[in-house]
Amino acid sequence: MIKDNQKVFNRLMVIADAAITAASLMLAYFFKFYVLNDGPGIGVLPAGDYFMLLFFIVPAYMFLYYSCSVYAPKRTVRRRFEVFGIVKANTIGIMALIIVLYMIIREFNFSRSVMALFYFINVFITSCFRLTLRKGLRKIRSRGYNLKHILLVGYSRAAEAYIDRLTDNPQWGYVACGILDDHIPAGTTYKGVKVLGRLGNLEVILPENSLDEIAISLSLQDYDHLEDIVSICEKSGVHTKFIPDYNSLIPSKPYTEDLMGLPVINIRYVPLTNTGNIMLKRMMDIFGALAGIALTSPIMLLVILLIKLTSPGPVIFRQERVGLHNKSFYMYKFRSMEQQSPAEEKKAWTVRNDPRVTPLGRFLRRTSLDELPQLFNILKGDMSLVGPRPERPLFVVKFKEEIPRYMIKHQVRPGLTGWAQVNGLRGNTSIRKRIEYDIYYIENWTIWFDLKIILMTFVTGFINKNAY
C-alpha cells in the first residue's frame, strides 16, 4: 500500500481480521470433533449452530480490535505491543462470549473446548498474520517505498533526537526532507538533513511540496512563533505533530489532567501517589514480609548463631538511610564487618578485599543473606518489598547535586529488591544507570510489575558479584 492509503489499508485489515476470526472458530470446531474425536457424537450441536455465532462474534471482535488500538498505525510500535493488543482484545472477547453463552442465555451445549481452542487459534493466526505483514511492510520501506515525508520546523535538541531515531530505524518509513529555522544558516546539515531556510518560508514550501507530515520541533527560544506555525500548518491540511524541546523535563508518557477544558501536564506521573495503589502495595508488603519471615526464620537463626560464634559485637547492624519523602530511617542488616566506631563506618563504601569485612560477612554479602532483617523494616513501613534501594544521607547529599533527577527515587518507599537490582545494577555499579531504572519503575508501577520483579529476584538468584 502507498502512503496515502491508510484508510483503505485499515479497511482491508478489518476484512482480513474478520475472515481470520471466522476461520478460527471453524478450525476450532473441526479440530475438536474431527481431530481429537471421530466426529460429532450424540448430543453435540451441529456446525451450523456454532457458525451462527459468527454473526455476533465477528462484529464484536472487530469493535474490540478497534478499541484496543489494533488498527492504529504501527510504523513505530514494537511488536510485543501489537501482539498485546490482539491478546487483550481476544481475552475480553472470549470472556464476554462465555458470560453470554453460559450465564445469560444459558446455552450449555456449546463446547467449552471449542471456545478455548477458538481463543488460542485466533490469537495465534492473527498475531502471525500481523507480524508477517509488519515484516513485509518494513522490508518495502527499507527499500524506499511506502514512505512518509516530513518537514521539521525548528532546529533544536528535540529535532536532532527525532532525526537520530528516523536515521537509526529506516524500516519505519519516515524521511526527513529538511528543516526550517531562523538561527541556523541555510545549507547546514545534520545527518544528511539540510536546513532549507527560515521559519517564514513555511507558507511558501507547504503549497509547493507533497509533504505527509509537519513536525514542529522549535527550540525553547522560538516558542513565541508556535501559535502562528500551528495555524499555517492546519490551514494547509497537512498532518502536524509537536516534538517539545523540554522532553528532558517530562516523561515519555506524561500524565495529563483536564481542569474544565484546561490541559495540565504533570512533570512526573507516580502511580503510587494514588491512595488505592498505596493500600494495595502496602497489603502485599505486609503479607510478603510475614511470609518471608516465616520461611526464612530457620536461616536467620542459623546466621545469628554463626555471627555470635565467629566475631564479637552485635548481631544486627543498624544504618541510617533516606526513605520515602526524604525521611531518614534505620535499616537493619546482619552485621558482616568487624565492629567499628560510627565515624569509621561513615567514611566510605565497602571496597574489594575490604579488611573490615569478616569471612562470614563476605559470604552473607555475596548471597544477600545479610539483607534478611529488612523484612522487619518492611513490616514497620520504612521499606517495601520492591522499590529503589535506599542510600545513606551523606551520599544522598552528594548524588542529588551530581546526578539529574536523583531525588525522584524518594517519591516511593525504598525496596528490599528493585528493577535496577534484578537487571544487575547492584553493589559497585553505575549510580546514573540505577537511577534510570528506578525512575522507569516509579513511572510504570503496577502490582504485576512488582510480582515480575519478585519473580526475577528468585530466578536470577541472590548472588551479588558486586558486593564486597
The average pLDDT across 99-106 equals 83
Tell me, what DSSP letter sits at residue 185?
P
The CA-based angle 144-147-149, given to 5 degrees, is 120
- Predicted local confidence at residue 384, as pLDDT: 95
Do residues 138 and 152 both lie within one domain?
Answer: no
Q: Residue 415 in contact with residue 386, Cβ under 8 Å?
A: yes
Q: In whole angstroms, what separates CA 237 from the centre of its chain?
A: 34
- Predicted local confidence at residue 462, as pLDDT: 61
Q: Which domain holds residue 225?
A: 148-248
Query: Which of 246, 284, 333 has its CA nearest to residue 454?
Result: 284
Cα 150 from Cα 165, distance rounded (Å): 13
Cα 72 from Cα 134, distance rounded (Å): 13
Residue 31 placed within a domain: yes
Q: Which amino acid is at 347?
A: K
Last residue of a domain, one of 125, 142, 159: 142
Residue 234: give its domain's CATH number: 3.40.50.720
Do residues 222 and 341 both lie within one domain?
Answer: no
Residue 227 has pLDDT above 80, yes or no: yes
Cα 333 from Cα 317, distance rounded (Å): 5
Do residues 277 and 326 both lie within one domain?
Answer: yes
Residue 254 placed within a domain: no
With a CB cutoff of 8 Å and minimum separation 6, the contacts of 315 are 304, 307, 308, 334, 335
Last residue of a domain, one of 248, 264, 292: 248
- Predicted local confidence at residue 49, as pLDDT: 83
Residue 268 placed within a domain: no
Do residues 354 and 222 both lie within one domain?
Answer: no
For 366-388, the pLDDT digits (tens) are 888 889 999 999 999 999 999 99
Helices 275-310 and 359-367: angle between axes, nearest 10 degrees:
160
Do residues 337 and 438 both lie within one domain?
Answer: yes
**Whose grid coordinates read 558486593?**
467
Residue 240: count of CB within 10 angstroms of its CB: 16
Residue 366 placed within a domain: yes
Do residues 445 and 364 both lie within one domain?
Answer: yes
Cα 86 from Cα 64, distance rounded (Å): 9
For 351-368, the pLDDT digits (tens) are 566 667 788 888 888 888
Query: Which of 315, 427, 405 has its CA nearest to residue 360?
Result: 315
Residue 468 placed within a domain: no
Please give, one letter per residue, the 3-state secondary structure of 141-172.
Answer: HHCCCCCEEEEEECCCHHHHHHHHHHHHCHHH
Q: Residue 171 in contact with residue 181, Cβ under 8 Å?
A: no
Do residues 192 and 105 both lie within one domain?
Answer: no
Do residues 196 and 106 both lie within one domain?
Answer: no
Do residues 163 and 109 both lie within one domain?
Answer: no
**Whose grid coordinates read 481480521?**
17
Q: Residue 182 in contact with residue 174, Cβ under 8 Å?
A: no
Do residues 129 and 199 both lie within one domain?
Answer: no
Do residues 95 and 172 both lie within one domain?
Answer: no
Cα 89 from Cα 45, distance rounded (Å): 27
Residue 302 has pLDDT above 50, yes or no: yes
Cα 76 from Cα 65, distance rounded (Å): 19
Domain count, the chain: 3
What are the cell numbers at 362?
A: 563476605
Residue 264 placed within a domain: no
For 245-283, the pLDDT digits (tens) are 776 666 666 677 777 778 777 777 788 888 888 999 999
Residue 28 placed within a domain: yes
Last residue of a domain, one of 142, 174, 202: 142
The mean predicted confidence, pLDDT, of the chain is 84
Residue 1 placed within a domain: no
Output 392 or 68, whichever has higher pLDDT.
392
**Strand bridging mode 328-334 / 384-386:** unpaired
- Predicted local confidence at residue 78, as pLDDT: 67
Do residues 442 and 395 both lie within one domain?
Answer: yes
Output 202 or 462, whichever has higher pLDDT.
202
